[in-house]
């Protein structure tokens, strides 16, 4: 699997930032997300092989990979929709197996598929999510209003989701993902099905969130134009991390003129 591909690896500082499990959440020196030597197979078919990377607090990382690279599987493992037997995942220093409840409370997720209830209002959808994180209705309402204001969507609180545009729905999903104030936000191809303007707006918006709120973001995509020059890029191809670093580093190490070129070389020109 990918034997002849170039591998640009970032040193995983697994020992320097590791402080062990702390379910009180007092120590912030742990990485927001740490994936170490993670492998996963379906019916004997490897989907992920020895995937390792770390995400610091407030860092925006783009998980770049062609369709079928294993991005959604990686997200399903981090969110515990699937279970893993080989490797380790830590969220804010907490082992996902041992402290599933606390680790889940620290992460927000925006799935590839739209997951809002179309017949319910924005408020009802957000209130449901708040309840799933143990919030009182009043607290969920306060936070929903706060998040929607940040998204410049405060007027849509009582609108039915069905009446929102695709871009607005995605913003509501991001507001929902941030409702319980997680330190890590996972977005799995969140721009699927959006027009160019909405896509651009969403990418900008999440970058701003990352800067202003210090939330660590892992943004999975196969679209090169969603990568900002200052972003860290983790290239996933055929279940393996084949590059991890800043855009400049990856371009230099692949002798490419652009990140698109570098991506093509790393993924052997598979469909972007």
Binding region for other proteins (CB under 8 A): 42-43, 47, 67-73, 76, 79-83, 100-105, 107, 109, 111-117, 119-120, 124, 127-137
Say which residues have a Cβ less than 8 Å from residue 92's Cβ, sequence separation at least 6: 25, 30, 31, 32, 103, 106, 183, 184
User: Nearer Cβ to other proteins, position 82 or 261?
Assistant: 82
Q: How far is the CB of 103 from other proteins (least distance, A)?
A: 8
Q: Residue 84: helix, strand or coil by DSSP?
A: coil
Q: How far is the CB of 72 from other proteins (least distance, A)?
A: 4
User: Nearer Cβ to other proteins, position 193 or 245?
Assistant: 193
User: Nearer Cβ to other proteins, position 83 or 212?
Assistant: 83
User: Nearer Cβ to other proteins, position 157 or 200?
Assistant: 157
* Distance between CA atoms of residues 136 and 150, nearest Å: 21
Q: How far is the CB of 229 from other proteins (least distance, A)?
A: 27
Buried b (16+ CB within 10 A) or exposed e, 36-51: bebbbeeeeeebbbeb
Q: How far is the CB of 187 from other proteins (least distance, A)?
A: 13
Q: How many residues does the chain have?
A: 272
* Distance between CA atoms of residues 13 and 29, nearest Å: 12
User: Nearer Cβ to other proteins, position 17 or 145?
Assistant: 145
Say which residues have a Cβ less than 8 Å from residue 136's Cβ, sequence separation at least 6: none
Asked if 94 and 21 touch (Cβ cutoff 8 Å), the reply is: yes
Which residues is 187 bridged to in the sheet?
110, 219
User: Nearer Cβ to other proteins, position 113 or 271?
Assistant: 113
SS3 of the chain: helix, strand, coil, percent, to 5? 35, 25, 40
Instruction: Give the alpha-carbon dihedral of 233, 10, 42, 84, to 10 degrees.
Output: -110
Q: How far is the CB of 168 from other proteins (least distance, A)?
A: 18
User: Nearer Cβ to other proteins, position 13 or 81?
Assistant: 81
Q: How far is the CB of 16 from other proteins (least distance, A)?
A: 28
Question: What are the phi and psi torsion angles at 236 (to 5°)?
Answer: -110, 125
Q: How far is the CB of 130 from other proteins (least distance, A)?
A: 7
Burial class (CB in 10 A: 0-12, 13-18, 19+), 98: exposed
């Amino acid at each position: 699997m990918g034997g002849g591909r170039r591998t640009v690896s970032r040193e995983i500082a697994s020992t320097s930032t590791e402080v062990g499990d702390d379910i009180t959440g007092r120590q912030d020196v742990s990485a927001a997300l740490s994936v170490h030597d993670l492998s996963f197979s379906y019916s004997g078919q490897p989907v992920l092989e020895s995937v390792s990377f770390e995400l610091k607090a407030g860092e925006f990382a783009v998980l770049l990979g062609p369709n079928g690279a294993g991005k959604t599987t990686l997200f399903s493992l981090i969110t515990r929709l699937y279970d893993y037997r080989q490797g380790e995942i830590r969220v804010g220093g907490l082992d996902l197996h041992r402290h599933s409840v606390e680790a889940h409370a620290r992460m927000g997720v925006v799935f590839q598929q739209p997951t809002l209830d179309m017949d319910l209002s924005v408020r009802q959808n957000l209130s449901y999510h708040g309840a799933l994180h143990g919030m009182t209705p009043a607290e969920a309402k306060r936070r929903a209003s706060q998040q929607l204001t940040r998204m410049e969507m405060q007027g849509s609180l009582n609108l039915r989701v069905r009446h929102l545009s695709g871009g607005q729905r995605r913003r509501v999903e991001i507001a929902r993902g941030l409702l319980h104030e997680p330190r890590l936000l996972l977005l799995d191809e969140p721009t699927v099905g959006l027009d160019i303007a909405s896509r651009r707006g969403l990418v900008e918006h999440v970058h701003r969130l990352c800067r202003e709120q210090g939330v660590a973001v892992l943004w999975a995509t196969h679209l090169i134009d969603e990568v900002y020059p200052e972003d860290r890029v983790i290239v996933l191809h055929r279940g393996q991390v084949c590059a991890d670093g800043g855009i400049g580093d990856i371009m230099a190490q692949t002798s490419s003129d652009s990140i698109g070129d570098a991506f093509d070389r790393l993924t052997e020109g598979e469909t972007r």
